Structure 1
Amino acid sequence: MVNFMSKIKNYFSANKRTRRIKDVPVPVQLGIYIERGEELVEELNRALSPHFQERMKYRFLQEHPNWQQHEFEWAFFELKRYFIMNKILKSVPMFSKEVDEVWHEMLMFTRDYEQFSKQFYHDMLHHTPNLDSKPIPGERGFFDWVYLSLFESTPNSRVLWGGFLKYPISQSILEDFKTFSEEELLTHYFRHNGEWMDLKRSLIKK
């Protein structure tokens, strides 16, 4: 009885996701449109070996039979965008259950994930589980602003992240950007790696 109900749940979940995520190609170069953005994407691609990606995709689709291939491709596409955001920001909450599922599957390949993380971040990017579907409004507002400052928004992006610009940026964050010096903001909000400083400073100015 339990197995039967589980199959029914997976069936309706798959149909719901299929209707929502369109089977269309993902944008090239992650749809990034900032200056030198393609260089940042290429840096990510060099850290994510094709062999690692193919193994992870195969395992994910085996472990999640209710997912279609194009659904995985789009969730992984958005995970790559999330990784780019983590290259720039000090901390990035996870606001997508589907994207988080793909990230969690990557962690099953412990050695490959660690190698990717060390190469791209020079540090370990630890998994931040999506424990609550309700976003933290102030943090979600800031996430949306940075995301839309970096990437083209697509219908599938909006499906996977639950839409954008539904929440205002918190007053405390806005106040920090009004009163903190550039160096204080870099220390408080951005990753301390000395990389992509022009991009970080341009976000502060924007």
Structure 2
Amino acid sequence: MMNRLKEWLGGAGGAPDEADQRYRPLAASGLELREGLPAYMAELEARLDEAMPEEWLKQVRERIRSSDPELSEIKHTWMERELKRHFFLLALLRKPPLYSADLERMWREMEAFSRDYEQFCERYAGYYIQPQQAAPPSPPGAAARQARGAYELLYGCLFQVQPESQLLIGPFHRLKLDAESLEELQASASPCAALGLLETSQDEKKAAIEALRQRLRERCALARRYHEAESAEDRDRCRDESDPSWVLLAYSLETEQSVMSCGPGVSPSTGIRAPTPVRSASAG
């Protein structure tokens, strides 16, 4: 089952010219936060939107499109959303990796409008946010792989994961969480330092981050019960393929003893299946 789930959730990639045709119009505005998150998360999204005037975003859009005429308007809207999601993560994590050269380019074009960018940083974060250099989505090395795993877990817990997102920031569920992260998630008193969540003295933000930790612990416990279930019925009660964080945790906890059968109840209708590329009329 997990191999099929990873295929559905991770997408298949593709050549750049083909991938550019895979972007569909955004189905919803905003960041598409997942349901059940603390109210602070919606407030943080509102603060982010208020700090980014549409007139400034329009200028950035025109600047990028003038230097890259082949960039479609639809892909640009996805780039803009993903960069906003990254800014959102910056408020909750200790410098999350940036897994997209496209987003790095957009970020640096934003910074080129120095006054607007400085105002954005002050309004949203209260300090100057230095643009990050893009990291490879499939990183080599244990530390980089641990960072990618933690990123995918938190991203999937906060946002709806679409195939277009993965075209920009890389396919999900290609690696397992490291043992340290899993051990921390299963220890109720652990601060989950391996996940990179911020420590803060701001009461509302601190409570929201703790609620996020608890949410991840609950998903981890559910994934563990899935593997420990002694009957198919019990296993079905612990299965939640609609949640990318559960899929990653269940995959990471898989052992040779935990048989991952592919049952008929599994369906790819999760909303994050890779769309079929649109081919031009001249294509053979």
Bigger-Rg structure (1/2)? 2
Identity rate, percent:
22
Shift of 1:159: 1.6
Shift of 1:177: 4.9
Distance 1:184 1:97, change over 3 A: closer
Equivalent residue, structure 2, for 1:189: 197
CA distance in 1, matches of 2:95, 2:201: 13
Equivalent residue, structure 2, for 1:204: 213
Q: Is the 8 A contact 1:182 1:204 kept in 2?
A: no
Q: Which amino acid aligns with 1:27?
A: A
Equivalent residue, structure 2, for 1:9: none
Distance 1:137 1:184, change over 3 A: closer
Shift of 1:175: 4.3
Q: Does 1:162 align with 2:163?
A: no
Q: Which amino acid aligns with 2:94?
A: K
Q: Is the 8 A contact 2:79 2:102 kept in 1?
A: yes
CA distance in 2, matches of 1:204, 1:184: 7
Of stretches 104-113 and 171-180 in structure 1, the one that deviates more from structure 2 is 171-180
Distance 1:142 1:185, change over 3 A: closer
Alignment deviations for residues 14-56 of structure 1 (CA, whole Å, 9 cap, x no partner): x33422323x125223101223233221110111112211111
- The match for 1:52 among 52, 56, 63 is 56
- The match for 1:35 among 38, 44, 62 is 38
Distance 1:141 1:110, change over 3 A: same
Q: Is the 8 A contact 2:19 2:167 kept in 1?
A: no
- The aligned length equals 192
Equivalent residue, structure 2, for 1:147: 155
SS of 2:31's equivalent in the other structure is helix
Equivalent residue, structure 2, for 1:70: 74
Shift of 1:133: 5.2
Equivalent residue, structure 2, for 1:102: 106
Ranked by relative contact order (alpha carbons within 8 Å, sequence separation 6 or more), the top structure is: 2
Of stretches 118-127 and 71-80 in structure 1, the one that deviates more from structure 2 is 118-127
CA distance in 2, matches of 1:128, 1:175: 30
Distance 1:26 1:118, change over 3 A: farther
CA distance in 2, matches of 1:191, 1:95: 24
CA distance in 1, matches of 2:120, 2:201: 16
Distance 1:199 1:165, change over 3 A: farther
- The match for 1:16 among 18, 32, 37 is 18
Q: Is the 8 A contact 1:100 1:129 kept in 2?
A: yes
Give structure 1 stretches of 5+ with no counterpart: 1-11
Q: CA RMSD in A?
A: 2.5
CA distance in 2, matches of 1:197, 1:27: 29
Equivalent residue, structure 2, for 1:5: none
Q: Which amino acid aligns with 1:16?
A: E
Of stretches 139-148 and 111-120 in structure 1, the one that deviates more from structure 2 is 111-120
